[in-house]
Structure 1
Amino acid sequence: MRIAVAGGTGTVGRHVVAVARERGHDVVILSRSTGVDLMTGSGLARAIDGMAAVIDVASVSTQSAKKSIEFYETTTNNLLSAEKTAGVPHHLALSIVGSDRAPFGYYAGKQRQEQVVSAGPVPCTILRATQFHEFAQQLFGQMRFGAITLVPKMISQPVAAREVGERLVTLAEGQPAGRPADLAGPEELRMAHMVRAYAEAIGAKGPILEVPLPGGFGKALRDGTILPGPSADHGVQRYADWVAAVRRR
């Protein structure tokens, strides 16, 4: 089948593309590097012509609720409009566990994305997943100031990005499923411990300090609001295994 992947060069997108191609699917990546601008819709209609499914894993780097909402509302509407015109029968979106319970900052945009997709004209599947193992790596890069790294106080149940990619492709191979079971990792971990393990694996020195974030979002990170419920599915790769792979590289 022919599958288009919005954000196919990102953390999850590259796994979606790899898994789909391993399974014999014809994959088109929707990104600026391939001549598609999701914010303007430029190049989109041509790129998705004849697709059996569109998997949206595009993302934006921001903690601003306004910017996140603007990005996801705009790109999602552009995708759905083009898909309706092209007759694409299945739209899949990747969201975050807890986005409906903690609609703050970046999560506010994911909540809006879910609303637009659910009310849209294309049959859909929305998969919520927890943070990826790579999130610790991203935090280390973004929150390092000299030799000091600041990490928000939070509890996570991280899942392998590869396993998220596998689940999305499996869902794309089936019929639109609405809201299937959430996908989480096999264990709960403190984010500070995850970042420390990553720093050790790459040989980085310096203190890593856990800082409680203020407001409702900070509370949600600390009190388990963003953790999966009892009905969630669980991946198998443990964070320690991912860190070990980073160390070997």
Structure 2
Amino acid sequence: MRVVVAGATGLIGSRTVDRLRDHGVEVVRVSRHEGVDVTTGKGLDEAMRGADVVVDVTDTPSRGELESLEFFGAATRNLLEAAAQAGAEHHVILSIVGTGRLQAGYFRAKALQEEQVRRSPMPYSIVRTTPFFESVEYMSRAATYGDAVHVAPVLIQPVSADDVAAEIAHVAVGLPLFGAMEVAGPEEHYLDDLTAKLLAARGYLWDVVPDAHTPFFGAMLGQRALLPRADAHLGHETFAQWLARR
């Protein structure tokens, strides 16, 4: 089996490449570092030759709605066209829990990406995940005002990037889902409390201010909007374990 991974050098992509190799499949890495640009299509046809499965874990450099819509619109269209031309039989994308319920900001862009994949004749699988532990610090920096970080006091069930990559690889080597599955961590946390613990562990002195009016990736949240479905696949690593390992 030959699996093409788009976004192969990113947080999830690099780990997915390793997990796929654990399954014994041939992996082709696609990224700008490899001379391939998914937004323009440069280098895609050559990278896709002989592909059986395409895994799209690309992400936009900006979480703004317009930038995200433009990125995912172009990248998904190019990847689907190149995959079909190569004769691939399974297209896997990474999405985010809350897509479909939240129709603003980054979530709107992911919803439109999912719709592109659903409309394609290519057999597909959608893997939606809750926020990564690794992304909590990034999110806090986006809402820093002076020495304070404003964070919505909402419930999340964060997951480690390693657990996400393992699930994506498992889906990629299996049969297409023709739908979406969800992946989450084993514990619920309040986002503001989790942010405070992470920043304290990193030695930052910022105050964390619970603020229900702070958007998350451009969307205003209800308290349970980011929680997964009851049938979500749960990762193994807790926040304490992840923090200790890092």
Runs of 5+ unmatched residues, structure 2: none
Question: Counterpart of 2:75?
Answer: 75
| Cα offsets for 1:168-226 (capped at 9, x unmatched) | 111111111112531111111111111111112222223122222368932x3x32122
Structure 1 residue runs without a partner (length 5+): none
Deviations along 1:85-131, one digit per CA (max 9) or x if unpaired, are 11111110011111100021001110001000011131111111111
Structure 1 contact 62–68 (Cα < 8 Å) conserved: yes
Distance in 1, matches of 2:139 and 2:81, equals 34
Deviations 1:6-38 (A, max 9, x none): 111112111101211233322222111101111
Amino acid at match of 2:115: Q
Q: How does 1:168-247 map to 2 (within 5 A)?
A: 168-213=168-213, 217-218=219-220, 220=221, 222-246=222-246
Contact 2:152-2:214 at 8 Å conserved across structures: no
1:39-93 deviation per Cα after TM superposition (whole angstroms, max 9, x unaligned): 1000001011111211101011434322212211111010000011111111100
TM-aligned CA distance change 1:161 to 1:214, over 3 Å: closer
Q: Give the paired residue count.
A: 244
Q: Which moved more, 1:64-73 or 1:9-18?
A: 64-73
What is the correspondence of 1:144-183 to structure 2 with a 5 Å cutoff? 144-183=144-183
Give the Cα–Cα distance (whole angstroms) in 2 for the partners of residues 232 and 225 of structure 1: 15
Pair 1:36-2:25 in alignment = no
Q: RMSD in angstroms over aligned alpha carbons?
A: 1.8
Partner of 1:99: 99
TM-score, length basis structure 1: 0.91
Say if 1:101 and 1:241 are closer, same or farther in 2 by CA, change over 3 A. same
Report % sequence identity: 34
